[in-house]
Every structure is written in C-alpha cells, then in structure tokens.
C-alpha cells in the first residue's frame, strides 16, 4: 500500500506537504510500510549503556556564575508553561497566562516564557488572556515574539480515537487560535509495526495545522517515550516523525510514569542533528514531564548545546514542557541576584 502523503487534502497545484517531500526524498520512492520499515530498521542501533553514560557525562558540566545566570533566563524563555488537568478551568488558565507573562513580579528583567500549553477547549481562554501579547498579535505589532498558545490534540494523551476525531480535535484547536499543536503518535500502531499508519497520521495532522492565510500552526509530535520503552524505538519514531513533517519532536505527554529523561532527549537531539547534517533543515526537540529543577534543566541546555549546537537553544528549536520547573528557576534566579537563598513564599503560585 502506498501511504497517502497528504496530497489529497491539498488544493490542486499546492506544493507537496513538507512531510511528503522529506520522506519521498529520503526513501527515494513511494512511502509504504515496507519502505519505511526498511529505512527505519536500517538505522544503526543505540547502545543503551553508552547513551546513558554520555548523558550522565554531559550532566556533570558545572554551570556557574554568569553562565548560570544566562542559563536560568534561557530556561524561562524556553518553557511551555503547561496545565493539562481534567480539573483545568478558565480561571486556572488565566492564572497560568498571567504567570507566563510575568513570571516574577518582583523582577521586571525576568523574561517571559515561550508558550502556554493547554487542552484544545481552553485555547480561546488562553488567547483572550494573552491579548496583545499573543504571539501573532505581538509579532504583527512589532512587539517582540509574544507568547504562543500550544494545544494538545489528537485524543491526547492516549491517542486512542478515530482519525476523524483526531483531525477534528486539531482543526478545532487551530481554528480557536492555537499556534502550536502537540499531537501524540499512535503508539499502538508503531509497536505493531504499522509505521505507515503512524506516518500517514502525522502527515494528515500537519495538513490540519494549515491555515488559509498560510500562517500554519507548528506541529510538535509526541512520541510518548515511556510507552515506546526502548531507545531503538525512540530513535525510529523520531526519524519517522521528522520524515512525516514534524516541526518538533517531543518526548512525552507527562501522563505516564516515565517521561523525559536526559538520555532519551540526547537521543532525539542526535536525530535532529543528523537530520540537519543531511538536509540542512532544523527540527526542534521538546522534553516534557519530570523536569522540575533548574539543575536538571541546565543539564538539558548543556546537552542541547553540545549535541545539536547552541543555535538550538531558541524557542523555535527547543522547549521544556513543564509547570513546576518555572518556580524553581525563579528561586535560583533570585538567589543569584541577591546572593542569599530565597523561599517558596517569594515566588507565585499560578
């Protein structure tokens, strides 16, 4: 079977989708389960011990003084401040947005986060709360990058719904003003070896991210590494997602026991680095879930800079999916500026 590369969803004459183009180029032929399998399973394996050792070694970098100050600000700028609870309310989202805009009310020099990340139905609340600081408006007004709204979609977090429902979920969020879509791959299909199905779905979601004005929502593809389990699977899923047109590959939903780890993020960074070596294209990486301390987050910055390169330390190429991380960074920041340790009462609860 030849996979639908999205051509059917496009108006006649439009350029092939990015995903289709990437895959067609690399596979040098039609995208089928067979060609995908041949390609993905032909990628050299990962030695888990070596990977984990490399990550541990990057984790021993000692980031102090001016480098630490720089790192802390950069972490804030790279955060997708996230709330993904069944109990989320408009009030909670507005509070989150306020925190995103002003992470530290006591320090006007504190940067803003990159985005807020919410469920699709709460996108309008987030857009409204951001007002002129919502990324598209801010950019249009020449008022910096603003703050983006990211929506999880495609029957997040399990991904267990029909294609139709998933695409509707995406279209709905995009229509409501989401700038970024965090989709989940179909892990069931991936683990069953139906790579074509996973590919096709990513391509379809990417199509659904298109807006008539060409100002497409960016697509982050969540691999849910905690369910793929092995590094070989993560590497294949990373390549598959990149081939299918992902703008970002993201580790996890934050909803299973095992989320982002440094080794798994390193592995994904190696994939985007290799993709860049091969094509010159840059794809982003987003570790999410479980990164709670500045110390940990700094290890990720080091890993990004020493693997993909420092140019990846920008919001369009690297994000932290996090919630409690921000306050720890703010505490560390206050310590660095004041010289003494701060306390939980000196940062705000969103």
Partner 1 sequence: MSFLDYAPAPESRSVVHLRPSYGLFIDGAFVDGHGTPFPTISPATEEHLAEVATADEHDVDLAVAAARKAYDRVWSRMSGADRGKYLFRIARLVQERARELAVAESLNNGKPIKESRDLDIPLVAAWFFYYAGWADKLDYAGLGANPKALGVAGQIIPWNFPLLMLAWKIAPALAAGNTVVLKPAETTPLTALLFAEILQQADLPPGVVNIVTGAGATGQSLVRHPGVDKIAFTGSTAVGREIARATAGTGKRLTLELGGKAANIVFDDAPFDQAIEGVVNGIFFNQGHVCCAGSRLLVQENVHDDVVDRLKQRLSTLRLGDPLDKNTDIGAINSAEQLERIRELTAVGEQEGATPWSPACEIPENGFWFAPTIFTGVQSSSRIAREEVFGPVLSILTFRTPQEAIAKANNTPYGLSAGIWSDKGSRILAVADGLKAGVVWSNTFNRFDPASPFGGYKESGYGREGGKQGLSAYLAPSGGVS
Partner 2 sequence: MSRLAVPKTYKLYIGGKFPRSESGRSYEVVSAEGAFLANAAQASRKDARDAVVAARAAGKGWAGTTAYNRGQVLYRIAELLEGRRVQFVDELVRSEGLTSERAEAAVDLAIDRWVWYAGWADKYAQVLGNGNPVAGPYFNLSVPEPTGVVAIIGPQTGEGHSLVGFVSAVAPALVAGNTVVVVASEKAPLSAISLSEVLATSDVPGGVVNVLTGSPQEIAPWLASHADVNALDLVGAGALDWVQLQVDAAETLKRVLAPEDGVGAAAPSLDRISAFTETKTVWHTKGLL
Active site residues: 182, 250, 286
- Both tokens of residue 254? 């934050």
Find how far residue 40's CA is from the centre of its chain: 22
| Partner touching 229 among partner 1, partner 2, none, CB below 5 to 8 Å by kind | partner 2
Distances (CA, A) of 229 to 50, 71, 223, 308, 334: 17, 30, 10, 23, 38
Q: Are 147 and 128 in contact (CB under 8 A)?
A: no
Nearest Cα to Cα of residue 163 among 188, 194, 197: 197
- Both tokens of residue 66? 């001016």
Q: What distance in Å separates the CA atoms of residue 230 and residue 227, rounded to the nearest whole number? A: 9
Give the range of 42-50, 187-195, 202-210, 246-254 binding partner 2 by CB under 8 A: 42-50
Q: Please list, in sequence order, all residues whose beta carbon lies within 8 angstroms of the beta carbon of residue 84, skipping any fewer than 6 positions away.
A: 117, 118, 119, 152, 156, 157, 253, 254, 255
| Partner touching 310 among partner 1, partner 2, none, CB below 5 to 8 Å by kind | partner 1
The smaller minimum CB distance to partner 1, of residues 64 and 160, is found at 64
CB 280, min distance to partner 1, A: 15
- Both tokens of residue 159? 């991904």
223-282 residues in contact with partner 2 (CB under 8 A) are: 229-231
The smaller minimum CB distance to partner 1, of residues 77 and 247, is found at 77
Residue 51 contacts partner 1 per CB under 8 A: yes
Q: Site mask, partner 1, residues 65-104, x = CB under 8 A?
A: xxxx-xx--x------------------------------
288-347 residues in contact with partner 1 (CB under 8 A) are: 301, 305-306, 310, 313
Nearest Cα to Cα of residue 250 among 128, 112, 82, 99: 82
CB 158, min distance to partner 1, A: 31
CB 238, min distance to partner 1, A: 13
251-280 residues in contact with partner 1 (CB under 8 A) are: 267, 270, 277
SS3 assignment, position 58: helix
Alpha helices, DSSP H only, in 176-212? Answer: 187-191, 195-208
CB 328, min distance to partner 1, A: 19
The residues with which 218 forms a beta bridge, in sequence order, are 180
46-75 residues in contact with partner 2 (CB under 8 A) are: 47-50, 52
CB 303, min distance to partner 1, A: 11
The smaller minimum CB distance to partner 2, of residues 233 and 294, is found at 233
CB 263, min distance to partner 2, A: 8
Q: What distance in Å separates the CA atoms of residue 81 and residue 133, rounded to the nearest whole number? A: 15
What burial class does residue 316 get, using C-beta atoms within 10 Å of its C-beta: 0-12 exposed, 13-18 middle, 19+ buried?
middle
What burial class does residue 68 get, using C-beta atoms within 10 Å of its C-beta: 0-12 exposed, 13-18 middle, 19+ buried?
middle
Give the range of 16-24, 41-49, 120-128, 325-333 binding partner 2 by CB under 8 A: 41-49
Q: What distance in Å separates the CA atoms of residue 196 and residue 36, rounded to the nearest whole number? A: 7
Give the range of 61-69, 92-100, 126-134, 154-162 binding partner 1 by CB under 8 A: 61-69
| Partner touching 68 among partner 2, partner 1, none, CB below 5 to 8 Å by kind | partner 1
Residue 344 contacts partner 2 per CB under 8 A: no
Residue 44 contacts partner 1 per CB under 8 A: yes
Q: Which residues are near partner 1 by CB under 8 A?
A: 44-47, 49-51, 53-54, 60-68, 70-71, 74, 267, 270, 277, 301, 305-306, 310, 313
Q: Which residues are near partner 2 by CB under 8 A?
A: 47-50, 52, 229-231
């Amino acid at each position: 079977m030849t996979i639908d590369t999205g051509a059917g969803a496009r108006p006649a004459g439009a350029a092939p989708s990015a995903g289709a183009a990437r895959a067609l180029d690399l596979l040098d032929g039609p995208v089928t389960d067979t060609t995908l399998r041949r390609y993905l399973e032909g990628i050299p394996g990962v030695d888990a011990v070596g990977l984990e050792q490399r990550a541990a070694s990057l984790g021993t970098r000692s980031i102090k003084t001016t480098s630490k100050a720089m790192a802390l600000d950069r972490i804030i700028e790279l955060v997708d401040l996230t709330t993904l609870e069944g109990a989320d309310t408009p009030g909670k989202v507005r509070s989150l947005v306020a925190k995103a805009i002003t992470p530290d009310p006591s320090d006007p020099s504190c940067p803003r986060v990159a985005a807020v990340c919410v469920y699709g139905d709460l996108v309008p609340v987030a857009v409204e709360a951001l007002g002129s600081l919502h990324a598209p408006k801010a950019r249009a007004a020449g008022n910096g990058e603003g703050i983006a709204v990211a929506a999880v979609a495609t029957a997040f977090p399990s991904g267990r719904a029909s294609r139709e429902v998933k695409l509707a979920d995406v279209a709905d969020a995009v229509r409501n003003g989401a700038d970024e879509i965090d989709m989940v791959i179909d892990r069931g299909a991936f683990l069953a070896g139906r790579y074509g199905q996973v590919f096709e779905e990513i391509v379809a979601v990417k199509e659904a991210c298109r807006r008539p004005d060409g100002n497409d929502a960016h697509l982050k593809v969540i691999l849910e590494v905690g369910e793929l389990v092995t590094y070989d699977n993560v590497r294949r899923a990373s390549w598959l997602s990149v081939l299918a047109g992902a703008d970002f590959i993201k580790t996890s939903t934050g909803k299973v026991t095992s989320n982002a780890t440094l080794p798994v993020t390193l592995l994904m960074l190696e994939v985007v680095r290799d993709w860049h070596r091969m094509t010159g294209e840059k794809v982003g990486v987003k570790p999410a879930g479980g990164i709670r301390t500045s110390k940990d987050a700094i290890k990720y910055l080091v890993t990004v800079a020493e693997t993909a390169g420092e140019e990846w330390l920008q919001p369009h190429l690297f994000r932290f999916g996090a919630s409690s991380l921000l306050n720890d960074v703010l505490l560390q920041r206050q310590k660095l500026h004041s010289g003494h340790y701060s306390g939980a009462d000196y940062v705000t609860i969103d």
